[in-house]
Structure 1
Amino acid sequence: MSVQVVMYSTAVCPYCTMAERLLKSKGVAEIEKIRVDLDPEVREAMMQKTGRRTVPQIYIGETHVGGFDDLSALDRAGKLDALLNPA
């Protein structure tokens, strides 16, 4: 797995945990976590970049997937594996 996965998260976020669990079940060995609860400037940067206020915000490579609901919808639609394993 060579695609980079980045997840904006907080310390106490059940959806972040569920997203991490789903990604690991798909074979993602490493997730770069950016904690937005430790620095207000980091949260502001996330909001500017994604247009959203909530966590998790997940990037697979250059693609902004969105939150956990978006991630699991991609998986149910059969599109997550293609993002994680680009040809």
Structure 2
Amino acid sequence: MMEDPMPKIEIYTKSTCPFCIRAMRLLDMKGVEYVEYEVSGGGEKKAEMVQRAGGRTTVPQIFIDDEHIGGCDELMSLEMDGKLDERLKAA
């Protein structure tokens, strides 16, 4: 039986952001791999984040399989509603 491929998880962060740390801690607890983009200095990745996140400029901005989840609050809401594990399984 083949194992389900992991979803692609991306998170845009700033190093000093407590919400980013909290979101990554939850993902770490879930044992999932993710790609972190540090956007403290602005630049191309920050512009990419704003564009992908529909104009949102706050961090973190989280994407699962290219679907915009939102920020830390939205990630925590998914967890509280019992829907995060489902999302973290391959789509």
Q: TM-score, normalised by structure 2?
A: 0.85
- Structure 1 alignment gaps of length 5 or more: none
Q: Which residue matches 2:64?
A: 60
Cα RMSD for the two superposed structures: 1.5
Aligned match for 1:5, one of 9, 16, 31: 9
User: Given the two structures, how large is their TM-score scaled by the length of structure 1?
Assistant: 0.88
- Of the three residues 44, 48, 59, the one matched with 2:47 is 44
1:64 match: secondary structure: strand
Q: Deviations over 1:7-39 (max 9, x none)?
A: 0011111101000111111121x2211111134
For the pair 1:19 / 2:23, whether they are aligned, the reply is yes
After the TM superposition, list the runs of 4 or more consecutive aligned residues in structure 1 that deviate by more than 6 angstroms: none
For these two proteins, the number of residue pairs brought into alignment is 86
Residues 14 and 38, structure 2, Cα contact 8 Å, conserved in 1: yes
Aligned-pair identity (%): 42
In the alignment, what sits opposite 1:76?
80
| 1:41, distance to aligned residue in structure 2 (A) | 2.7
